[in-house]
Amino acid sequence: MSAPTSPTIGLLPLILVAVTALAAMLLDLRSKPNPRLQNSCTVIGLLLAALSVIPIQSQISASGQPFTYWSGIIAVDGMASMFTALACLSGALALIFSIDYLQTKRAYPGEYITLIPFVVLGLSLACSTKELLTFFLAFELMSLPLYAMAAWGRFDLKSSEAGFKYFINGAVSSAIMFYGISLIFGTTGSTFFDQLAINFDLVSTPRHAFVLGSLMFAGALLFKIAVAPFHFWAPDVYEGAPAPAGMFISTAPKATIIAFIMRAFWSSLAIQSMEFRLEDVWTVTFCSLALLSMTWGNIAALRQSNIKRLMAFSGIAQIGYTMLGVMTAARSTGVATMGISAAVFYITMYSFANLAAWSVIVLVEYQRGSSEISAYKGLAKSNPFLAFVLLVSLLSLAGAPPLAGFVGKFYLFRTVFLAHSGWWWVVLAALVNSVISLYYYYGILRPVYFEEPADNQAASGELQASWSVRVGLTVCLIMIAFVGLCPTLVQMGASAGAQVLSSAVLP
């Protein structure tokens, strides 16, 4: 098939996000900054970047070839387009859900608004690169603004502590990643994904260094998405960071890193030879991490009274479910497409449900001044719409039918059962963990619907949400409910998406 006819269009999303980031920064430098204007311009820019993916994907589908730039360093294919759009939408929704908080709290709103498009730019570049050093630069472009977002409440000791912990641990993980890249390069003589497998069989250097480098590289990635046992930073950071920062940190970076793991650890780092069979190594590794994350995240969440800390452990458990799809994507070509489709679908639905739940957390924190679960007493009476959003999003995260979370878990568990003969016990463990999660999600919903608000909460009046927040929440609810109520459509979309994504991931 011929190459795409308009190669320059492939960089349009990256250009739009970069221009949006610069515009947000310039608007904040005005003598009299207007946070609402800055926020609106940034949201519009991110939405335009997400929409620009549509003509790109149509050209890729027509030609059957991705857009490539700079000698193959950047490749805009189906996977890159999808996760670029998801990162832009996540950033736009996070800004929409945060605007009321930004205008109420004296927390330097311009800084928060400026940081998000820079993170999105790093995420978009990370999911488009096919070279390790370029990914490292994109990884740092994503990470540094996230550290600043965690410490955004500079006069809050908890926020400063969260930012410091996040930065120190992130710096260590970046150093480990860079050393892992050096070992991979020292073994194969290349940092391009396409060349790693070719060069691996040609060199005579000790190949164990490649395995060590790959493990170090994987560890740094798993730290960023808070997979147990690399999760220790997440509860403290989520609890200490301002709620808008915690909302974004818990969503967009996870989806992009999952996409990159599937791209890199199947097509390039799962090299097969007479000496190594890394396909089996990664399968066992990802399975162990999935079980550990699910179990530890759910059990630790049972003891939490702070909702942001609870959502941190919930996120650890949720990413454990996603790792089941990653585990299957690391198998042979016949079942890898099933794992890719299931993992991508689940992390996408998780993003919308998580954003919806965190939006309520943001509103309650700035209007009631607390992130304790006790602050949610009587929420159903003070604002039935927000209570309903919290109900639907938490039930979806728990996997209750007929919501999107149930459909996503069904596809994940079905994929593991079909792809890994004799591994039924993994599916059973995941089901048990899903049941456990119902208990602590109910612990949030019980005061919302069945308890009366405290005197100070009743005196503060009804919780308010602006029209823009209501529109964003309605979009999330439609995604959560519509996908769950249309399983046939989901199955068709998942099958078609697997073909597109596997062409980008599988060699």
Within a domain: 442: yes
How far is Cα 375 from Cα 171, in angstroms, rounded to an integer? 35
Give SS3 for 250. Answer: coil
How far is Cα 159 from Cα 98, in angstroms, rounded to an integer? 17
Is 108:34 a contact under the CB 8 Å cutoff?
no
How far is Cα 477 from Cα 273, in angstroms, rounded to an integer? 48
Tokens of 196: 């790693």
Q: How many structural domains compose the chain?
A: 1
pLDDT tens profile 350-391: 888 999 999 999 888 888 878 888 888 888 888 889 999 999
Task: State what percent of residues in the chain have pLDDT above 90.
Answer: 23
pLDDT tens profile 96-130: 988 878 776 556 778 888 999 999 999 999 888 88
Within a domain: 417: yes
pLDDT confidence bin for 457, thresholds 50/70/90: low
Within a domain: 473: yes
Within a domain: 284: no
> Rounded to the nearest 10 degrees, what angle do helices 333-368 and 467-485 cross at?
150
Within a domain: 250: no
Q: Among 49-58, 198-207, 225-234, where is mean pLDDT lowest?
A: 198-207
Within a domain: 366: yes
Q: What is the pTM of this model?
A: 0.88
Q: What is the pLDDT of residue 30?
A: 78
Within a domain: 285: no
Give SS3 for 419. Answer: helix
Q: What is the pLDDT of residue 462?
A: 65
Q: Would you give the end-to-end CA distance of the chain in angstroms? A: 17
> What is the CA 42 to chain-centroid distance, rounded?
20
Contact residues for 195 (Cβ-Cβ < 8 A; gap 6+): 188
Contact residues for 216 (Cβ-Cβ < 8 A; gap 6+): 176, 177, 179, 180, 183
Q: State the residue range of the domain holding 378.
A: 292-507
Within a domain: 146: no
Greatest distance between any 2 Cα atoms in the chain: 74
How far is Cα 57 from Cα 62, in angstroms, rounded to an integer? 9
Q: Where is 404: in which H helix or E strand?
A: helix 404-419
pLDDT tens profile 210-261: 778 888 888 888 888 889 888 888 888 898 888 888 888 888 888 888 888 8
